[in-house]
Structure 1
Amino acid sequence: MFRIISLLFCALFISTSSLQAQFFLPPLSPKASLTQMVGNTIIKVEYSRAIARGRTIFGGLIPYDKPWQTSASEVIISFDEPVIIDKQRLPAGKYALITIPGEKEWTIIIHDANHGILEYGKSEIRIQTCVPVTKAGRHYEALSFDFDISDNNARLYISWTDVQVSFPISTGINEQITTYIDSIISAPLMGDGHEYFKPINYLLFNQQQPDKALALIARFQEVDKGEYPYRMLMRAYTQLGQKDKALKAADKGIEAVKREYAHQPERISSLLKSYEEQRAMITAGTTNGQKSW
């Protein structure tokens, strides 16, 4: 009997020890990462999400006017292409992000990632800028980083409890797009209409440089005699506010539909209906040139 009890005790001990060896308490500040493509640039933020747990955070746990690693551990931000922050160019690479919180504004510091927070003053500071403090739209129990993107640029938000700060990140891709489009306009005529379709559609969809969209459409029409370029022409003239020219483009598009799909009555009927709807919207001024079929 004693031997049986001993064996049972040993089995229980081994089972308990195995459970202890496999069980891990969850971290108090879970690690997080945030990756966002902005234009052609991939931006990644790696940090630990500290949790408020009823504590006074700013002016309490996080003192004002002192460097903060902006996380429960170091924050690493990386870019695979050069970016511009506060009119300062930052090469592609991996960096540490440090902040100095204040009641009304924060200092944002981006520096070489091979130094910790205690040594950041000794490292090369790449970017330093001040941003205002705003009220967050909701309560953030956990420290949060988040991106908002617009027009190939981004704004990085840092939020915790009811406090929020942000700073813009520019990719510079719009300048590259302009250079690329200028090169297509000035280059010899290309036989593949798709090479014109892509940049035209990009400009019209983003409502950028409709005058250059017109120049590209003119080239597109030299290699594509169908009705589709007239849809683009309508959109470009509408974005330029030239209603009469947009309506003339619609009329020519209708003529092209009848020629191109002469043996497809159902296709003609469907496209003519779409053109008439678009004409009505242009006449009424209820379109901004965004519609595409």
Structure 2
Amino acid sequence: MKNSIYFLFAIFFATSTLSAQDFSDIDKSPMDVTIIRNENHSPMARVIYSRPSMNDRVIFGNLVPYGEIWRTGANEATEVTIYKDMTIIGENIPAGAYTLYTIPNKTEWTVILNKKVHVWGTANNYDPDKDLVRIKAPARTAAAPIEEFSMAFQPIQNGANLLMGWENTYIEIPFKNAE
């Protein structure tokens, strides 16, 4: 009988505690990660970013203005880790961690790898003197609207394309193993 009372008390306490939890302040732009591995399953590159949603908003040219530097996602600036030397559109990129910024425009984006990492957004944190590389990528029209900002690696011969897309636009950046 005593054990039954303890058991009922424990169930009551557990359910009342759970119902009292408030998750309303949960992050509206959750963090995500995409990773590409080599044939031997060792990591080649990883991207950590946050995924804001469209929520019936006009994104490019409005929420994300054309011609201005963007953290490429939400919250903390997007971070790329490259595990061995690579090339991106002919530019040599040493293994290491970088912040990935972009400057979206209607027909072309500038993609920036910056040596200053662990930064929040762009205001007062972006330092152009720490840019490792700036490359251009054509802006392409997505086959269907992309509700949440998304990134994914697509394997290609000797590397991977990093796809970045949101709303009706995406770009692709080829990461190739250094020869």
- TM-score > 0.5, shorter chain as reference: yes
Q: Which residue is 1:223 aligned to?
A: none
Say whether the 8 Å CA contact 1:36–1:42 is kept in structure 2: yes
Q: Which structure has the higher relative contact order (CA within 8 Å, separation 6+)?
A: 2
Q: Deviations over 1:24-78 (max 9, x none)?
A: 2332111111111145652111011110011000011111100000101210110
Say whether the 8 Å CA contact 1:107–1:128 is kept in structure 2: yes
3-state DSSP of counterpart to 1:56 = coil
Q: Which residue is 1:95 aligned to?
A: 98
Unmatched 5+ stretches in structure 1:
1-14, 176-293
Q: Which residue is 2:37 aligned to?
A: 37
3-state DSSP of counterpart to 2:127 = helix
Q: Which residue is 1:130 aligned to?
A: 136
Say whether the 8 Å CA contact 1:112–1:123 is kept in structure 2: no
- TM-score w.r.t. length of structure 1: 0.50
Instruction: State the percentage of identical aligned residues.
Output: 28
Q: Which residue is 2:150 aligned to?
A: 144
Q: Which residue is 1:168 aligned to?
A: 174
Q: Which residue is 1:158 aligned to?
A: 164
User: Which is helix-richer, 1 or 2?
Assistant: 1
Say whether the 8 Å CA contact 1:76–1:113 is kept in structure 2: no
Q: Which residue is 2:57 aligned to?
A: 55
Alignment-mate amino acid for residue 34 of structure 1:
T
Unmatched 5+ stretches in structure 2:
1-14
Q: Which residue is 2:22 aligned to?
A: 23
Alignment-mate amino acid for residue 112 of structure 2:
I
Matched, 1:82 2:85: yes
Q: Deviations over 1:162-221 (max 9, x none)?
A: 10111111112xx4xxxxxxxxxxxxxxxxxxxxxxxxxxxxxxxxxxxxxxxxxxxxxx
Report the RMSD for the aligned CA atoms in angstroms: 2.1
User: Which is strand-richer, 1 or 2?
Assistant: 2
Q: Deviations over 1:137-157 (max 9, x none)?
A: 221100010111111211111
Say whether the 8 Å CA contact 2:116–2:130 is kept in structure 1: no
For 2:117 and 2:45, locate their aligned partners in 1 and report how far apart those are by CA, in whole Å: 18
For 2:145 and 2:72, locate their aligned partners in 1 and report how far apart those are by CA, in whole Å: 18
